[in-house]
Structure formats: structure tokens, C-alpha cells
Amino acid sequence: MMKVVRGFYAVAYSVKLCRPDVICAYPITPQSEIVENIAQMYANGELGNCEYITAESEFGAASILVGASATGARTYTATCSQGLILMSEVLWNAAGMRLPIVLTIANRSLSAPLSIWNDHQDSMAMRDAGIIQMYVENNQEVHDMMPQAFKIAENHKVMLPMMVCMDGYKLTHAYEPVDLLNQEMVDEFLPPYDPPVKMTTKDPYTFGSYATPASYMEFRAAVYNAMERSKKIIEDVYKEWAEVSGRNWGGHIVAENCEDADVCVMAMGSLVGLVREVVKELRGEGKKVGFIKIRTFRPFPAEEIAKAVDNCQKIIVFERSLSMGSDAPVTLDVKSAIHKKAIDVYSPVVGLGGRDVPHKLVKSTIEEVIENKAKPGTYFKGLKDYEEVIV
Amino acid sequence: MKLFGSGHGACPGCGLPIAVKSVLEGTGPCFVANATGCLEIISSQYGKSAWGVPYIHSVFENSAAVAAGIEAALKALGRKDEGPVVVFAGDGATADIGIGCLSGMFDRGHDILYVCLDNEAYQNTGNQQSGLTPPGSNTTTTPSGKVLPGKIKPKKDMVSIALAHKAVYVATASVAYPRDITRKAKRALEFEGPKYLQIHSVCVTGWGVDGKQAIPVAKLAVETALYPLVEYENGQLVRVKKIKDRKPVEEYLKLQRRFRHLFKHPKGKEVIAELQKIADENAKKYGLDA
């Protein structure tokens, strides 16, 4: 059923159809209306036997989901920014304990300075936690992703938390037409959660043992291996979704016009739509430019990217975050993926803290690279002329 | 299978296994959420778990929230009949770093028995002071020196904090009286909602007492009124352990290395007098003198 809804609702409605057992959250801008919508569904008795808990903090919310997930419940939360990094201790723990908690991240910047607006610094700070990360470009994609996220995370070969990242404000608050899923279809696609082990007095297990140097490494290697294994599972689920829903969002990446491109341009999240448009325009102007949408960020689709950029000389990665003291996070992985190829990588950092990324900025940034007017490496675009005061 | 079996690595004389076994005797098969700390380290090493009940340890400060999640899941999945949910957390995990999660658990009214194992400092890591360390205690982060006589402030009043949250059952107990612990755990489970049981538990290494002296020392804490054993139901004080011939606090202090400096430190007398005042006030507040 096609309906014009806001991003919050696209998420909340999809989560409801996934029949979670325990939802726990703490409100934070711009995630709040996701959990407010869910709270309203709970208040209306639309969530079946689901327990919806408003926690005392994001830290508490993640912790509650650890207990619930270990007891065999399908678990969900949404957060972002300060809330996500407040959860981080628990989320690292959840990944290590192999608890498939699903999160929606309404991507927002990190303090200081305080900013409620969008970039990807929050989810990037969780890069190494053992959490699967994927980024959506619009509200139909996030709506479609929620059942897929549970199916991926809860696969016995995976058993890891998963974050579905949507840009705060740009998507959460946007009205867009969304073809809303129906219960029968989601029920058929997503079976009930059936954990390999769970906390039960009928067969008591110990969860969260501590490990001496004699066993710690094997546990961490197992998380690493699960993340590697998830590459195939994610691809399978993406494909299955395309079949059952009729909407094919692509694989880990979506490469367009890269075969003959001299310059391949990459983006992630809501910037995808604009960058894709600009690349098309440049193509129309006869420029040999290709476009790559990165969907899965963890596990990183290194092989797919290496293959897609095989014929190009230059890569542009539009970055929405930073790694202080090094290249920005996506760039680091892209460079690692192409380390055997002689390709220059340009990493314009744009739109931090919600700074607007206008069409002409994207276009001129790409043109500068095509025309050899930019230097490879990390640089800021859309920065004002200002004087940095060192006192 | 025992609910808390042999194979744990506690020091001889440690109060924790007594406290845990006594609680589990009262609760029967249950779900345990445990905070990082002594108990977790002595009982949950990979491949050597001492637990015969479903047990989870997540991180240091979140066991109240983890337990809340277990309880919510059991409700959602229609499995509440499998057993009650019990937290075991140390005094630091309870009164300091985990008090936010504990407050949330109380506030939301989860049906959980929260057991604080109070050995009066971060003993797992070598006797650093916590919010439940008593005044005068010589810890590694509040050492006695030429100027300072050890820990300065009194113990955080967790019983009042639990009562202020309208916890349905709030009690204190001591490893010197294991049957009392069992009775209280059992009684607690007759109430639906959040329950708080704080058990005074001897740490032989941190307190500096001989293993054989552990129980006599624990008993003296009660007999001096420094550790009053009290029981509240729905906010009302219903029972206390009365004391015949209440002993002066020095008798308790002198048996422990952590208080030894008080008998020669320039401010020692002052601190001992403060501790005696705390004991006297406890006796008065709870009507402990038989």
C-alpha cells in the first residue's frame, strides 16, 4: 500500500511487522519519533505480546536488550549520536556475546560542539564493535531493510547485532511515498527468532564468561569470522528480498556506469540520490564518470569495490565523517580494497553537523578531480573562510 | 546439579559463596544476572562455570538492566513460570557505577530480586573504596596517611535509596546468619515488584582478617549495630535483628587490618567515635537493643 509517510513511521511500521518481543529505547533527537510511533502502537495494543520499555538511558536500553536477547527474545532499539556512544560499551559486549540486537541509527553528529544535525560520525565510531552496518538512501529502503536486518542478524551463521543507518532529519523527518509492507509477506519472509542457545532454567547455560589468555583470542576470532561469513548471508537476504518484494536495492554496493569510467564516485546514505544525479549529468556532458552506492559498510565489501573500480584511474569518496589523524573511515577501507591498483583516492569531507551539501558543490568537487585541479587525500568541501584561532 | 556448585575460586573464608548459596536456597532455580566483580571472577571463568542456573554477566554497571531485560523477555515469551530473576552485584556495582541502572529497575517496577553483596570496597581489584566503604577504612584509594585517617564519609544509605524508590521488599542480611539470608530471599519472592537485599559479606584479603575469623567478624558487625539487620515490606519496617548486650565498635574494628591504623592515628579516636555514633544511631533508629 503506497502511502506518504515520514521516515520515523516507515521505520516504526516495519519494525512492528517484524514482531519483536522486547523493544527498549531512550529518546534522542532525531530518533525520538521512531520510538514515539512505536510507543503509540504499544499503547494501542498493536504490538501483540511485545514488551516496550522506556529505559533510564541509552546505556540502560542496550543493557535491557542484552538480557532480553540472551533469554531468547527478538530485540530492537533505535538511537544515534551521544546515545549510540553511550551504548557503545554494551554494544561491544552484545557483539562479543553474539546477541542479534537490531538497531536503527538516525545518524547525527557527535559533540563537541553539540549539534543535533546529520553526519555519519556516530555510527563510524562503532565501526570496530562487531556490529553489521548498512546505510540506506531513502525511506522505502529503510522500510524494506528492517525485516532483512532481523533475518541477517539472527542467522545462526552470523548472530551479531546489526545497525540500519538512516540520515537524521534528511530521512527521519522527510515525507516520502513508501509502499508499506503487509504482515503476511513479512511473516513469510522472517521466521520467528530461534536462538541456538538461550537462558532457560530447563537447560542452564552460563553467558558472558570471562576468558583468560588461553581462550579470549578464539572468542574474538569467532566474531571476526562471523562478520566475514555474514557477507554471503547478507547478499543472499538482499537477493531474497528483491524477489519477494519486487524491489531490488542491489548487493553490498550498487555500481553504475563504472565499466568505462575514468573517475568512480562513491557515496553512502541520503547523499546517494544527489551524487547519482550529478554523475548522470556529467555523463550527459560526455565525462567518463561512474557511481558507486555503498550499502553495506561492515562487513566492508572490499572485493566488490575492487572489481567495480578496476578500470578507473581516480576514486572520489564523499565522506560524512572523520578519523582524526588519518583518512576518513570509508576512504581507509576503499584504499585498503584497492591497495594493489594504481588509483588516486580523493576524499572530500562534506556536510558535517548538517551543513548543506548543494548540487553545485557536489558537481564542482567532481569536476575539480576530473580536471586535475584537486589533490588526492582528505580535504574539506563547503567549509567557510574562517580563521582558526590558536591562543 | 547444584544451583551454585563447587569449583568456584573464592578465597577460604570469603563470604560470597555463603551469601549466594543461601540466597539460591531461598529462590530455587532462577535466572541470575551478575555484575563484573569478585563473584563473577570466582564463578564464571570460561569452561569452569560454578553455576547450575542460567547465568549472565554483561558488564560492570548494568546487571539491574540486564535482569530487567530477562524479566521482560520472560513476560513477552510467556515463560514467567520458569523462575524468578535475581541480580548479584557488588557494593561498587550497586551504589556507585550501576546506580543509574538500579534506579531505572526500581522505577519501572520490574519483578526482580536485586542482591547487593556488600564487602565494602572494590575487592576484586584490590580494595579500592566504594560508596559503601565505611568511614576510617584504609583502602588503596583512601589510604591512611599522616593527615588522613582513611575513608572520610559514611556508607551510602542504599536501604533508604531503595525505599525512596518504593521497592516492595528491602532488607539487610549478613553472611554470619545464612539461614536468615535464605528466609529473606524466600520472603522477598512473595512480593511482586523490585526487591532489594543487601548482604554484608566478609572479604578476608581486603579487610585483613584471618579466614577462620571471617564469620566472628561478620557477627560483630551486627552485634555492634554497625550493620543493622532490618526488613521492610511495602515501605514498613516489619522486623529487625535485636541485639543483646550491644558491643562497642572497637571490638569489631580491632580484628581487621583495614581499621588497625585508627588505634594509633592522630585522628583515629575521632573516627572511632564517629563509628560508635553511627552504631548508636542505628540502634536507636531501628530499636535494636533487646
DSSP-assigned letters across all residues of chain B: --SB-TT--PPTT-SHHHHHHHHHHHH-S-EEEE-SSHHHHHH-BTT---BSS-EEE--SS-HHHHHHHHHHHHHHTT-GGG--EEEEEEHIIIIITTHHHHHHHHHHT--EEEEEEE-SSBTTTT-B--TTPPTT---SSS-B-SS-BS--SPPP-HHHHHHHTT-SEEEEEETT-HHHHHHHHHHHTTS-SEEEEEEE---HHHHT--GGGHHHHHHHHHHTTSS--EEEETTEEEEE--BSSPPPHHHHHTT-GGGGGGGTSTTHHHHHHHHHHHHHHHHHHHT-B-
Q: Which CATH architecture has domain A253-380?
A: 3-Layer(aba) Sandwich (3.40)
| pLDDT on residue A244 | 97
CB contacts, 8 Å: B74 with chain A? 71
Q: Is A144 exposed, middle or buried (0-12, 13-18, 19+ CB in 10 A)?
A: buried
Q: Which residues in chain B are closer than 8 Å to A50, comparing Cβ atoms?
A: 76
Domains of chain B: 16-286 (3.40.50.970)
Q: How far A268 CA lies from chain B's nearest CA (Å)?
A: 33
> Which A residues in the span 88-117 are in contact with B, Cβ-Cβ below 8 Å?
89-90, 93, 97
The owner of cell 532490618 is B230
Residues of B in contact with A200 (CB under 8 A): 54, 79, 82
Q: How far is A389 from chain B (nearest CA, A)?
A: 39
Looking at residue A150, the DSSP 8-state letter turns out to be H
Cβ–Cβ below 8 Å for A204 and B55:
yes
Q: How many residues does chain A have?
A: 391
Q: Which residues of A touch B31 (CB under 8 A)?
A: 71, 199, 201
Residues of A in contact with B1 (CB under 8 A): 204
pLDDT one-digit tens code per residue, A129-170: 999 999 999 999 999 999 999 999 999 999 999 999 999 999
CB contact under 8 A, B41 and A210: yes
Q: What is the pLDDT along chain A (391 residues), one digit of tens a residue?
A: 999 999 999 999 999 999 999 999 999 999 999 999 999 999 999 999 999 999 999 999 999 999 999 999 999 999 999 999 999 999 999 999 999 999 999 999 999 999 999 999 999 999 999 999 999 999 999 999 999 999 999 999 999 999 999 999 999 999 999 999 999 999 999 999 999 999 999 999 999 999 999 999 999 999 999 999 999 999 999 999 999 999 999 999 999 999 999 999 999 999 999 999 999 999 999 999 999 999 999 999 999 999 999 999 999 999 999 999 999 999 999 999 999 999 999 999 999 999 999 999 999 999 999 999 999 999 999 999 999 999 9
Mean pLDDT by 10 residues, chain B (290 residues): 88 96 98 98 95 98 98 98 98 98 98 98 97 98 97 97 98 98 98 98 98 97 98 98 98 98 97 98 97
Q: What is the pLDDT of residue B103?
A: 98
For helices A7-17 and A139-153, the axis angle rounded to 10 degrees is 30
- Nearest CB to B73: which of A22, A60, A219? A22
Q: What residues does each domain of chain A span?
A: 2-245, 253-380
Rg (CA), chain A: 21
Query: CA of B37: which chain A residue's CA is closest?
Result: A210
Taking contacts as CB-CB distances below 8 angstroms, the residues of chain B near A93 are 58-59
Q: Is B7 at the interface with chain A, CB within 8 A?
A: no
CB contact under 8 A, B65 and A70: no
B101–A59 CB contact, under 8 Å: yes
Strands B236-240 and B194-200: unpaired
CA atoms within 13 A on the CB side of B103: 11
pLDDT of amino acid B1? 67
A194 at interface of B, judged by CB pairs closer than 8 A: no
Chain A residues in contact with B57 (beta carbon < 8 A): 207-210
pLDDT at site A237: 98
CB contact under 8 A, A51 and B65: no
Domains A2-245 and A253-380 share a fold: yes
Q: Residue B207 forms beta bridges with which residues?
A: none
A200/B82 CB distance under 8 A: yes
- B73 contacts A89? CB cut-off 8 A: no
What is the ipTM metric for this complex? 0.97
Domain A2-245, classified CATH 3.40.50.10490, yes or no:
no
In terms of DSSP bridges, do strands A263-267 and A377-380 run parallel, antiparallel, or are they unpaired? unpaired
Alpha-carbon gap, residue A317 to A268, rounded angstroms? 9
Interchain pair B73, A68: CB under 8 A: yes
Q: What is the pLDDT of residue B49?
A: 95
Q: Is the dihedral of CA B3, B5, B11, B14 positive or negative?
A: positive
Q: Among residues 37-56 of chain B, which lie with CB inside 8 Å of chain A? A: 40-41, 44-47, 49, 51-56
* B46·A210 Cβ contact <8 A: yes
Residue of chain A whose alpha carbon sits nearest to that of B67: A67
Q: Which residues of A touch B54 (CB under 8 A)?
A: 199-201, 204-205, 207
**pTM for the complete prediction?**
0.98
For residue B59, the distance in angstroms to the closest alpha carbon of chain A comes to 7
With CB atoms and an 8 Å threshold, state whether A66 touches B62: yes
- Closest-CA residue of chain B to A61: B65
CB contact under 8 A, B101 and A24: no
Whether A45 and chain B come into contact, CB under 8 Å, resolves to no
Which B residues, 100 through 159, put their C-beta within 8 Å of a C-beta on chain A?
Answer: 100-101, 103-104, 107-108
Q: How far apart are CA A50 and CA A32, in angstroms?
A: 19
Which residues make beta-bridge pairs with B159?
Answer: none
Closest C-alpha to B201, from B6, B5, B53, B21: B21
- Could B57 and A209 be called an inter-chain contact, meaning their C-beta atoms sit closer than 8 Å? yes
The C-alpha cell of B175 is what?
553472611
Using a CB–CB cutoff of 8 Å, tell me whether A271 touches chain B. Answer: no
Is the CB of residue A61 less than 8 Å from the CB of residue A77? yes
The pLDDT, as a whole number, for residue A15 is 98
Nearest CA in chain A to B33: A67
In this complex, do A64 and B76 lie within 8 Å of one another by their Cβ atoms? no
Alpha-carbon torsion, ordered B19, B23, B28, B30, to 10 deg: -90
Nearest-CA distance B288 → chain A (Å): 37
Residues near A64 by Cβ (< 8 Å), separated by ≥ 6?
A22, A24, A53, A55, B65, B66, B68, B69, B72
**Between A359-370 and A271-284, two packed helices, what is the crossing angle to 10 degrees?**
50
Cell representation of residue B127: 580494595
* Rounded distance between C-alpha atoms, residue B150 and residue A253, angstroms: 61
Strands B169-174 and A162-167: unpaired
